[in-house]
Amino acid sequence: MSIQVEHIESNNGTVIKLLQYPESSVDSFDLTIFSTEELTKFRAFKSSKRQHEFYFTRLLWNYFKINEPIQYNQIGRPILRSGFISISHSRNVIAIAYNPEHSVGIDAEYHSPKLKKIQNKYISETDAAMVNVKNESELTIIWSVKEAIYKMEQIEGLSFKENIHVKLEQTKALVDVAKGAELHHYTFEFKDYGDFVLTYCSHADLNGKTLF
């Protein structure tokens, strides 16, 4: 089975890897990569899609050479004892970000016309002033960044449209997250692979003035 694994450089100790895999049969999987607990979970999935995502996520995690299984908290987010992890899967792409000291965010998102159709659900007036809403690529990046932020944050009831605002600057995205007394700032980087974009957090400032 031919897979592609890419290591992506980050500037703050975050390790990021991306895996692309071809169409394949579950019967071709090397199930020895699983622990007993993981194998039980893998076999419990009724969907072939979920089995593929689970298998290739564990396969990619092995490339990090961190001898610790991925666990999940009560709301289904991946957690580790020895650091912080973020996982994204979209079609045949798996992306993982890991940092030993602070939370990380990552998202892979395929370009899709539907993001333009539903832009009123995640693009506010603040966003519209800073992004070309007619540009499908920019809309994909904005959606992807907001997806990653939502997974990172622990703020109940966070709204993509009202609480997360994104400004694009070349290969970076500046992000404000505001809800009640909370005000968080992030710098994201992004890469466009043609069919999909990858966005990932490279810096967080939880106690600063608004970025824009």
0.85 cut: is pTM over it? Answer: yes
- Please tell me which residue, 156 or 51, carries the higher pLDDT value: 51
In the prediction, which pLDDT does 121 show?
A: 93
Looking at the predicted structure, is the pLDDT value of residue 204 above 80?
A: no
Of 99, 126, 153, at which residue does a domain stop? Answer: 99
* Residues 18 and 72 both lie in one domain: yes
Looking at the predicted structure, is the pLDDT value of residue 47 above 70?
A: yes
* Residues 196 and 119 both lie in one domain: yes
Looking at the predicted structure, is the pLDDT value of residue 17 above 90?
A: yes
Helix (H) or strand (E) holding 50: helix 48-62
Q: Which domain holds residue 54?
A: 4-99
In the prediction, which pLDDT does 75 show?
A: 79
Contacts of 8 (CB under 8 A, 6+ apart): 16, 17, 18, 191, 198, 200
pLDDT tens digit sequence for 102-141: 888 999 999 999 999 999 999 999 889 888 888 999 999 9
- How many Å is the maximal CA-CA distance in the chain? 53
* Residues 88 and 147 both lie in one domain: no
DSSP string, 95-163: EEEEESSS---EEEEE--THHHHTGGGT--HHHHTTS-TT-HHHHHHHHHHHHHHHHH---TT--TTTT
* Residues 70 and 120 both lie in one domain: no
User: Does 139 reside within a domain?
Assistant: yes
User: Does 210 reside within a domain?
Assistant: no
In the prediction, which pLDDT does 102 show?
A: 84
* Residues 125 and 192 both lie in one domain: yes
Number of separate domains in the chain: 2
- CATH classification of the domain holding 52: 3.90.470
* Residues 62 and 15 both lie in one domain: yes
